[in-house]
Structure 1
Amino acid sequence: MTSPTTPLVDHIVILIPHSFLSSPPSWFADLFHFYPGGRHSDGLTENTLVLLADGSYLEFIAFVPGVDPAKRAAHQWGRKKEGTVVDWAVTLPPPPPSPDNSDGEARFLEQEKAFREIQKRVRDANAGIVYGDLRRGGRTRPDGEVLKWGVAFPRHDEQAGGGPVEPGTVPFWCLDVTARHLRVPYTDPGVTKHSIGAVGVAKVEVLPNSQKIAESARVVYDTILDAADTNGSWNVGSPAGATVHSGGTVRLGASKGSAGVNITFFTDDPSLVGRSVGGKVDDDNTLAFHLVAAFDRRG
């Protein structure tokens, strides 16, 4: 039985030009079945979603045209390159809902209690990285449904200056106030059928921007995830992963002086196993994803 403090992959955040939302290039439009997202409550960003059969999803996010440059620069992803994976989030197994789904706030508070246990464990591990408290956020779906959640981001501890950690180095947390199926309706008919056969996240490869940060990140992963092997990999679950794939991993790659995150997907299309898919975002950046067999953990 899954522990209430077992992290699950919630979503992967990928920054794209706003034009990819309004008039996507054909190579991008042909990769996935896109699900309507919406505008975030801060008014700075909009998104579209790709729902995966394992219950996780991809968030393709873009800054709204005409956004104040100063406000964009102050956003946690405002200085990241478009066409790159900029962050990723984990969540916790939700408590059982009431029959009428009326106790969202109570269920969130129960999850918040579990998160605080994790928050304390990470702080006590003296990694140099800690998690801040959950703060409320949300967005409005195109159909008018208002979604609410709480997120907690990592930061350096006081001894390391207390500043923000480079996004993606370790995951942030996303816990739902409104029912998760409203934010991630992956069980709706047809929404997880993608042309590349993607059914879930096989690997999150994290590339820290220094050896010191890599060492801090390793302590965090050792604290929050189950170790998979001795080569810097950890097991990570997903809400419905066991039904569609063999389980994902997180791996720390060698630092190359610039931070980054690479994503590998499980595919259920045998003809695409071992291939990479994607295309050019602009003259300088290419967005690409690798594909491995749904029940092959070697990816």
Structure 2
Amino acid sequence: MSKPSTKILDHIVHLTPPGTVEKTAQQFRDLGFIVVPGGTHTGGLAENCLVVFQDGVYLELFSFTHPLSHYPPSSPEREKQDGSGVEYLPDMKGGRERPDGKVLEWVILGPGPELKRGTVLFFCGDVTLRHWRVPFDPPSNTWHPSTTSGIAHVRVLVDEKDIVTLLNQLTSIINSQPITATETETAWVLNTLSTLSSTSGYKSLQLIVSTLKQDDKHKVLKERGPGVYEVGL
């Protein structure tokens, strides 16, 4: 049996302050996106809304329902046995209840606490059907007034001193070599569920890791730390 691919982009999490997911959803609507209510996660600790694209990827507008101090610390991590230094937490069950009452279940494999948050991928395995979690039906959910149909690239910003470690980690996780590499930028090709179909017409997207080059990036890195800097549509 073949192993699941680790280079398929399922979704991107847009974290908002506790209790602000509806405010963020309205901001996205004002920008020309259809926003679908997602529901409340198991235990009532988080809630979300979704911006679903025709290429199979979605943005998850995610908000905790309590301040961060309310949540317990991470469980013990385990090391990924490939010499890359990437550590992943044990599989963790998750789920949410949609506004229509349908209960979704999945399993999350997330990076350990030693890794810089937002710089490496986490993995989501559906227990219930994916189309319950990603509502492509009705098709109007993916036809945005802004005409956006999918993700072109995801850019991660990282400090120069950490770049070599992160590049090795991502190459190991994605199980693929970069398609381009310069002194300040490295890129990999990622697939979506739509690009895996030869008849879909959608192009593969890129995961780009950049180091500091401009003053505005210095400011972002200082204020927010390493992580996703931009998402190209």
TM interval, short-chain normalised: 0.7 to 0.9
Match of 1:190 among 127, 140, 150: 140
- 2:79 aligned with 1:131, yes or no? no
- Offset, 1:17: 4.1
AA aligned to 1:236 is L
Match of 1:218 among 167, 174, 178: 167
Q: For structure 2, which runs of at least 5 residues remain unmatched after alignment?
A: 213-217
For residues 92-128 of structure 1, the C-alpha deviation after alignment (integer angstroms, 9 at most, x for no partner) is xxxxxxxxxxxxxxxxxxxxxxxxxxx98x531x222
Q: TM-score, normalised by structure 1?
A: 0.62
AA aligned to 1:238 is T
Aligned-residue identity in percent: 32
Q: TM-score, normalised by structure 2?
A: 0.78
**Residues 21 and 264 (structure 1), Cα distance of their counterparts in 2 relative to 1, 3 Å cut:** closer
- 2:70 aligned with 1:71, yes or no? yes
Tell me the equivalent position of 1:265. 232
For residues 56-105 of structure 1, the C-alpha deviation after alignment (integer angstroms, 9 at most, x for no partner) is 100001122xx255225858xxxxxxxxxxxxxxxxxxxxxxxxxxxxxx
Tell me the equivalent position of 2:179. 228
AA aligned to 1:123 is Q
Tell me the equivalent position of 2:45. 44
**Residues 210 and 150 (structure 1), Cα distance of their counterparts in 2 relative to 1, 3 Å cut:** farther
Q: Is the 8 A contact 2:187 2:208 kept in 1?
A: yes
For residues 194-216 of structure 1, the C-alpha deviation after alignment (integer angstroms, 9 at most, x for no partner) is 1222222211111135623x322
AA aligned to 2:9 is V
Q: For structure 1, which runs of at least 5 residues remain unmatched after alignment?
A: 76-118, 156-162, 267-299
- Offset, 1:178: 0.4
AA aligned to 1:260 is G
The separation in 2 between residues aligned to 1:248 and 1:18, in whole angstroms, is 31
**RMSD in angstroms over aligned alpha carbons?**
2.8
For residues 111-161 of structure 1, the C-alpha deviation after alignment (integer angstroms, 9 at most, x for no partner) is xxxxxxxx98x531x222222332111111111111000111112xxxxxx
The separation in 1 between residues aligned to 2:146 and 2:25, in whole angstroms, is 16
For residues 210-257 of structure 1, the C-alpha deviation after alignment (integer angstroms, 9 at most, x for no partner) is 623x32221122122432223311000001136253210111111545
For residues 7-62 of structure 1, the C-alpha deviation after alignment (integer angstroms, 9 at most, x for no partner) is 21011111224665445586532221011101111322111001111111000011
The separation in 2 between residues aligned to 1:221 and 1:239, in whole angstroms, is 20
Q: Is the 8 A contact 1:35 1:191 kept in 2?
A: yes
Q: Is the 8 A contact 2:16 2:24 kept in 1?
A: no
Tell me the equivalent position of 2:56. 55
- Offset, 1:259: 1.2
Deviates more, 1:134-143 or 1:15-24: 15-24
Tell me the equivalent position of 1:245. 202
Secondary structure at the aligned position of 1:240 is classed as: coil
For residues 267-288 of structure 1, the C-alpha deviation after alignment (integer angstroms, 9 at most, x for no partner) is xxxxxxxxxxxxxxxxxxxxxx
Q: Is the 8 A contact 1:30 1:195 kept in 2?
A: no
Q: Is the 8 A contact 1:236 1:248 kept in 2?
A: yes
- Offset, 1:188: 2.8
The separation in 1 between residues aligned to 2:142 and 2:26, in whole angstroms, is 19
The separation in 1 between residues aligned to 2:9 and 2:210, in whole angstroms, is 19
Tell me the equivalent position of 2:12. 12
The separation in 2 between residues aligned to 1:176 and 1:254, in whole angstroms, is 34
